Structure 1
Amino acid sequence: MRVDRLTDLRRRLLLDRIFTDLPASLSQIHESLKSPQVHAIEIYDRGTSGLEGPFRAFEEAPRGKPNNFNSFVFDIGSTSDSQVSGGTYGFGKTATFQVSKSHCVVYWSRCLNQSGEPEHRLIASALHDPYAEQGVRFTGAHWWGTIVGGDVEPLRGDEAEAIGRAIFQSDFGVDETGTSILILDPEISLEQQRGSGLEERVPVRTVAHAEELVRQIADAMAFSAWPKTTSTDGVSTPMNIELHHGTKTHEVATAIRSGYSRWASALARVRAAQGQQSSESIESTPPGVIREKIETIRLRPNASLRGSGDPIFGGRTDNVVGHLYLVASVRSAETSVFEVPRNRLCLMRSLAELVVRYDEVGSFDDDAVQWHAVFKPTPECDRHFSASEPSTHDSWTPRAAEEEVSTYVVSRALHQVRSKTRAFLTEGKTVGRSGERSVRKVAMALRSFVPTVLAISDDQASSQPGSRSSVRRRGRHTAVTDLEVISSQRLPDGQGQELVVRPVGIQGESRIMGQISLFARSQDGRMELNNSEAGVIWKQNGVIEGHGRECLLDVETDVHIEIRTHVATAVEVVLRGEAV
């Protein structure tokens, strides 16, 4: 995707070669293209089949043959019967018009024609409100191409290729097929007044507005399309996502993979349960995982539904309609350029893997513990969930489905999914609290180790996870020193961590006293671990300098701190340094 200001040449081409003979009702197109600051969004895909199939609105595609051009360009608002695509009602096609102040777009596609030869196709379209003129009703849809027999057809061949290359910035390779869409004069929503909650739509005319548009696009990509950046084999991803603003490239895919890594891990496990990803390509359990569970959603329809003649489970004999993965983890101090959802149930379509919505089901009492859940229907049952979506594709409404069997499948599946999610959230609260060490009993049953270096001072009663790489302690009679964290890695057996720190003397000290405290974290609280529950070994220059919670260290020489728990445990680490 690309956001850029239209050059004078591109604006003239659009006015002189594409949007000709504009009626008064479409004067906004002319006004937009006359502005020297007008911007455009260019959306493109490559490696797809492009807008193939018949290109005349009245022409029907042979059964079983593609109808991509007519469906995408002419059949605005029509229903799709594809079992693989995410779209159903054509809402996505009209959304591009809504973004444009002038409600117009240009399509340029390279596909294989009926003879199997590559062909360029170019057409423009505008979508406005229906209107009547001289007693005749019009839909408000307009197209610009070439007129053949009174009907609009796309420009094709060399002419389409030449104009496409002049207007668009992303060209096609020698054997490349795909589609590009140019959205003219995009608008963004801005808050009218800080804190007012009221928004206004303004056209992008400045660099600042263009940067805000790019930010909003990146947020939307991350929020709804993060599954497209999640590898299915440990190497490739379902989609390569690019975002450009002028000459600047935003590494949005890398940022999404980093910020949404918890969600990606959950999706990979759902894919594996559905046979769509091998277990070998799934990374080991991420650090900080406290508890995880995969739930298979099965239904037991009554005799009347089973005898309806509709294959409820799409040929499956195990009555499985989907899979739910749930995970609880320690909330780390990781930062992301996105506001990543947490404590949410993510519902998504099956093979298309498009996010439908995030459900709020509940949260743990301790804000330091978070959870993520992903539910995905099986490919065989995805049609039921597709049938229950509104035109906006942002929810599953069982009663919206036309067939009784789809209403049943979606209703009962969602009931199970939400019920199992609530049960997962309450499982951690069933541990007894009568003993002094009840929190420890929970913590010692945790699944992995997460070091979190915290900044503390003498007068702090407790600490919260932070991201500082150096830790200082100040006392009334204590000189200030640093323990600078260099790196950390898990021990091979998973039951501990090795930290590499560097003691730094602030006031010329040659030696300092290194100190460490370890805390177990769970949904039920925070408990300091003693020496019998977690051991610490201090090494400097390859020599063991000490065991336990403190050790005398030389400054400016790296120290290897091996923290070993007797059970794989989620641990919070607090480091201190004191001058001696």
Structure 2
Amino acid sequence: MPLDLSSEPFPANGAIAGEGARKLLGTPTLTLLQTLARESGQNAWDARASDSVRMQVRLRTLDEAQAACLRSEILANLPESTHSHDLLEPARTSSCVTVLEISDFGGVGLGGPTRADIASPDKTARNFINLVRNIGAGRDIAGGGGTYGFGKMALFAASECSTVLLDSLAVDASGSVERRFIGCHVGEEYVGANGRRFTGRHWWGRSPDEPDASGGFVEPLLADEAEAIAEGLGLPRRVAADTGTTIMILLPRVENLHDAAAEIRAAFLWFFWPKMIAEGGAEPPMTFAIEAEGETLLVPSPEHFPPLDLFVQAWRLVKSSDPQSRAVICERPRKLLGRMAITRGFRGDRKYGAETGPIQGSAHHVALMRPVELVVKYLPGTPLPHEAHEWAGVFICNDDVEVEEAFARSEPPAHDDWMPNSLPKGPAQTWVNVGLRRVGQLASEIVHPAQSGTATTVEQPPLGSAAARLGQLMPRSVEDEDRVRRGTIRGRRRAWSVEPAEFITLEPVEGGVSAVFRVQARNSSAEPLAIRAMPGLVLDDRISGEIELPDGGKVVTQNWTTASGEHFATGEIALLPAGSFGDFRIRVLVPGLAAVGLSLDVED
């Protein structure tokens, strides 16, 4: 049975018109797809039911049956407005209807009251009305990113017909779940045939048994009816454990579905990489799957997405309060505003659409974030003199309630900046102002320190632009990563294991650079274990046995040090004592512009 259409009339006291609602998003600094990815990912994180959430994005063309379901069940009734009718007509008549689906699994879904005039004692149970009914709902999760505020208008901006369909398996405070489905369209205000003015906001659902006095209200479809229409549209199936929401954007504003999927993948990496880091053997807090017309796109780990590898290193320094990190302090009024750290390295090859991100060229930026650890923006600094070198920093504001709230309130609707002048004069404005200024100053001090007459400058070593290739010394695709991980060496005659070498960084040295690899080894036997580290040139993405360069130079294993920097061995071979564990850094001298890897062998 076709869904009922509800068109919102202006009440006597007035309301915001559809075109006004669309303008509330402002003018984000990001592209439309980046804003969409940023907003949807943030909403999924804030609405998670536990410590982790899984996101899935699909860009696809509806098949004939799915398009028929859309036409007959949802778009059978169109708004009276000529403007909205013209926007929606292509979705009814086109032979090629494309959609962009954004789903989260492991979230609480769109629960709570379905009417905005009904109070809810549970602040976390307002997701339905905040996304579907209200405009500009305030942040109601302490330390969250700002669920379903003005930024939700990015969903409608991403649709050629300004229409989204919402399918949710919502969980309430008691733990019970309910399937809900509703359609939403934001058009322009208009005057109806009866002379009444309408805002331009419309919903498709089911009229209540007792019609609303205003005549402008529909409830979402529930339970089996909601599940049936979701299935008819080809939306992801959900069992009881798969709570969360799917947002289907009709006729997305993209020229090519595959290119759009790649840009969304890159945006997730650029803004959610702190949530994509697996620590201590656990699954990362957020995982992402992306498809375009049934083709799955590979989503690499941040460590394999330069320059995020450098940002991850800086993030770890901040998280551990490493001595290399710096406190950012406001003197008047005295307040710890947060911590920051910076790392430097050679520019790694850009892959997976990284060039569509907010950093063009070599990185020279600080990633700004609140304790929720979603990247707000990348604050540019001064680049290093040579384009083959780059630096990356991370600043996380203090989790002190007053400080975190100040930075959160300074964000525009798209959550893509910190704007101190948007705050009233007072401590909050001062903290954000000083924080941004001090982060810039510290970045300059760390990256471009005052040089003494004997100091080594950041321009060393004097390598050509081709040195950028050195940023990726080993095969770095996820498939290669899996292949190497399976290459762990284990003893047959006695108990020992050696993990495969992991490239860490590059260090400038006299005569070239040193490639630094990490190797972990455990010797549970009663005899010393001889481990040999053999460097080799990388040819065709594989480590060869070649060590001689065309110009006559050689790649050579220099030394082994412990994780704390203590010397352990010189040359290729190191002896690991019986009953011990080692976490080593092995340095390989690379005299020229060559890609090298490190193979390991053990004498058992």
Q: Tell me if TM exceeds 0.5.
A: yes
Equivalents in 1 of 2:165, 2:587: separation in Å? 57
Shift of 1:573: 3.6
2:259 pairs, out of 190, 209, 212, with: 212
Following superposition, the deviation at residue 394 of structure 1 comes to 1.7
Q: Tell me the equivalent position of 2:311.
A: 263
After TM superposition, the structure 1 stretch with the greater mean CA deviation from structure 2, 377-386 or 263-272, is 263-272
Residue in structure 2 matched with residue 346 of structure 1 by the alignment: 366
Secondary structure class of the residue paired with 2:278: coil
- Shift in CA distance, 574/57, structure 1 to aligned 2, threshold 3 Å: closer
Q: 2: distance between equivalents of 1:126 and 1:502? A: 54
Q: Which residue is 2:439 aligned to?
A: 417
Deviations 1:316-368 (A, max 9, x none): xxx32211111122334575542263433334332432221112210122223
Question: Which residue number in structure 1 is paired with residue 536 of structure 2?
Answer: 500
Tell me, in whole angstroms, the C-alpha distance in 2 between the residues paired with 1:384 and 1:248: 43
Q: 2:273 aligns with which of 215, 226, 241?
A: 226
Does residue 362 of structure 1 match 2:421? Answer: no
Following TM superposition, by how much is the alpha carbon of 1:299 offset from its aligned partner in structure 2, in angstroms? 2.4
Of residues 19, 23, 26 in structure 1, which corresponds to 2:84?
26
Partner of 1:432: 453
Return the alpha-carbon distance in structure 2 between the equivalents of residues 244 and 262 of structure 1. Answer: 28
Contact 2:421 / 2:429 at 8 angstroms: preserved in 1?
A: yes
Tell me the residue number matched to 1:322: 338
Q: TM-score, normalised by structure 1?
A: 0.67
Residues 1:42 and 2:101 aligned together: yes
TM-superposition CA deviations, 1:530-572 (whole Å, max 9, x none): xxxxx99799xxxxxxxxxxxxxxxxxxxxxxxxx9x979865
1:242 lines up with 2:276 in the alignment: no
Unaligned runs of 5+ in 1: 189-203, 274-278, 280-291, 307-318, 445-451, 455-460, 471-486, 504-511, 520-534, 540-564
Aligned 8 A contact 2:75 2:92 in 1: no
8 A contact 1:320–1:378 mirrored in 2: yes
Task: State how far apart, in whole Å, the 2-side matches of 1:183 and 1:115 are.
Answer: 31
Does structure 1 residue 142 correspond to structure 2 residue 202?
yes
Report the Cα offset of residue 57 of structure 1: 2.5
Cross-structure match for 1:69: 128
8 Å Cα contact 2:346-2:389 kept in structure 1: yes
Listed as ranges, the gaps of 5+ residues in structure 2 are: 1-56, 475-500, 504-516, 521-531, 540-547, 557-568, 574-584, 596-604
Going from structure 1 to structure 2, the CA distance change for 1:367 and 1:442 (only over 3 Å counts) comes to closer
Residue among 174, 186, 194 paired with 1:127: 186
Instruction: State the secondary structure of the residue aligned to 1:125.
Output: strand
Provide the rounded CA distance (Å) in 1 between the counterparts of 2:350 and 2:591.
Answer: 14
CA shift, 1:443, in A, is 6.2
Q: Determine the C-alpha separation between the residues in 1 that align with 2:231 and 2:130.
A: 24
Residue 12 (structure 1) shift: 1.7
Q: Determine if contact 1:488/1:499 at 8 Å carries over to the other structure.
A: no
Does the alignment pair 1:15 with 2:71? Answer: yes
Which amino acid letter does the alignment assign opposite residue 71 of structure 1? N
Equivalent position amino acid for 1:161 in 2 = E
Residue 516 of structure 1: aligned partner:
553
Q: Are 1:154 and 2:220 matched, yes or no?
A: yes
CA RMSD of aligned residues (A): 4.0
Structure 2 distance, partners of 1:253, 1:235, is 17
Aligned in 2, Cα 1:365/1:45: closer, same or farther, shift over 3 Å? same
**Bigger relative contact order, structure 1 or 2, given CA contacts below 8 A and separation 6+?**
2
State the match for 1:109 in structure 2. Answer: 168
* Alpha-carbon spacing, 1:346–1:364, altered in 2? closer, same or farther (3 Å): closer
Question: Does the 8 Å contact 2:305/2:350 carry over to 1?
Answer: no
Counterparts in 2 of 1:107 and 1:322: CA distance versus 1, 3 Å = same
How far off is 1:69 after superposition?
0.8
* Matched residues, number: 443
Match of 1:85 in 2: 144
Task: Report how far residue 116 of structure 1 moved.
Answer: 4.0
Cα distance in 2 for residues equivalent to 1:406 and 1:382: 9
Deviations 1:139-164 (A, max 9, x none): 22111111122222111121112112
The alpha carbon displacement at 1:91 in A equals 3.1
The answer to whether the 8 Å contact 1:401/1:407 transfers is yes
Cα displacement string for residues 486-538 of structure 1 (whole angstroms, at most 9, x for unaligned residues): x9973869xx98413599xxxxxxxx99831689xxxxxxxxxxxxxxx9979
Asked if the contact 2:310–2:344 (Cα under 8 Å) also holds between the matched residues in 1, the reply is: no
Q: CA deviation at 1:7?
A: 1.3
Deviation at 1:50, TM superposition (A): 0.7
Aligned with 1:153: secondary structure?
A: coil
In the aligned structure 1, how far is the partner of 2:198 from the partner of 2:84? 14
CA contact (8 A) 1:109 1:120 kept: yes
Amino acid at match of 1:181: I
Partner of 2:498: none
Q: 1:174: Cα distance to partner?
A: 3.2
**Percent of aligned positions that are identical:** 25
Deviation at 1:172, TM superposition (A): 0.9
Cα 1:117–1:135 shift into 2, 3 Å: same
Which amino acid in structure 1 is aligned with residue 198 of structure 2?
A: F
In structure 2, the CA distance between the partners of 1:137 and 1:34, relative to structure 1 (3 Å rule), is same
Contact 1:77 1:94 in 2 (8 A): no
Distance (whole Å) between structure 2 residues aligned to residue 10 and residue 55 of structure 1: 27
Which deviates further from its counterpart, 134-143 or 40-49?
Answer: 134-143
TM-aligned CA distance change 1:258 to 1:392, over 3 Å = closer
Contact kept, 8 Å, 2:329 with 2:338, in 1: the verdict is yes
Structure with higher Rg: it is 1
Task: Report the CA distance shift for 1:100/1:114 in structure 2 as closer, same or farther (over 3 A).
Answer: same
Distance 1:384 1:393 in 2: 13
| Other structure's SS at 2:320 match | helix
**Is contact 1:51–1:69 with CA below 8 Å preserved after alignment?**
yes
Q: Is the 8 A contact 2:277 2:302 kept in 1?
A: no
Match of 1:4 in 2: 60
1:214 Cα deviation from its structure 2 partner: 1.6
CA contact (8 A) 1:323 1:377 kept: yes
Structure 1 CA distance for aligned equivalents of residues 152 and 518 of structure 2: 51
Q: Secondary structure in 1 aligned to 2:267?
A: helix
Name the SS for the 1:55 alignment partner. coil
Kindly tell me: are residues 26 and 370 of structure 1, through their superposed partners in 2, closer, same or farther at Cα, counting changes over 3 Å?
same
Say which is worse superposed, 125-134 or 335-344, in terms of deviation. 335-344
Residues 15 and 30, structure 1, Cα contact 8 Å, conserved in 2: no
